[in-house]
Amino acid sequence: MTRRVLVLNGPNLGRLGSREPDVYGATSYAGLVESCRTLGAELGFDVEVRETNDEGELVRWLHEAADGRIPVVINPGAFTHYSYAMRDAAAQRTAPLIEVHISNPYAREEFRHTSVIAAVATGTVAGFGLGSYRLALRALAEEVTG
């Protein structure tokens, strides 16, 4: 039986491939979706990848995950640094939740050094480009089956 996993993406991540490729790489959002689904299937996951620029929608998706005991990989984007609503929704998790960042926030502007999500996440993977998602899915597999 495959386990459902949500890969949630916050603001501007739908612009991958065109948004600051020197920071976020040249792979498109569609490429990220395909990569997550392919690796997820290899790991026994049914991966659903979602993206929104709407903070409220991300909060609703986190509630859905908590209610359904669905593991989550989340890249909150800029919401990472200030969304207490998202932090409170993530704190309600009932399955592992892994925070992901494509770039290394600590190697960037100072405002990016703070994550309000990290304290309620199972763990954080950052700085490995889109590989951060692959590492997070592998870590999730360990958490779920380990």
Task: Quick: pLDDT tens for 131-140.
Answer: 999 999 999 9
| Two tokens, residue 138 | 């592998």
- What is the number of structural domains in the chain? 1
| Two tokens, residue 121 | 């996440």
Task: Quick: pLDDT tens for 1-23.
Answer: 679 999 999 987 876 665 655 65
Percent of the chain with pLDDT over 70: 86
**Structural domain boundaries, residue 124:** 3-145
Largest CA distance in the chain: 44
Q: Is 75 annotated as a binding residue?
A: yes
Q: Is 12 annotated as a binding residue?
A: no
The angle, 0 to 180 degrees and rounded to 10, between the axes of the packed helices 29-42 and 131-145 is: 30
Catalytic residue annotation: 24, 101
The HSE-up count of residue 58 (CA atoms within 13 Å, CB side) is: 28
Q: According to the model, what pLDDT value does residue 22 have?
A: 62
Q: According to the model, what pLDDT value does residue 26 have?
A: 57
Task: Quick: pLDDT tens for 35-51.
Answer: 999 999 999 999 999 99
Q: According to the model, what pLDDT value does residue 89 have?
A: 97
**Rounded average pLDDT over 65-93:** 94
CATH number at residue 86: 3.40.50.9100
- Identify the H or E element spanning 75: strand 72-75
Higher-pLDDT residue of 108, 116 = 116
40 contacts 81 by C-beta, under 8 angstroms: no
Q: Is 88 annotated as a binding residue?
A: yes
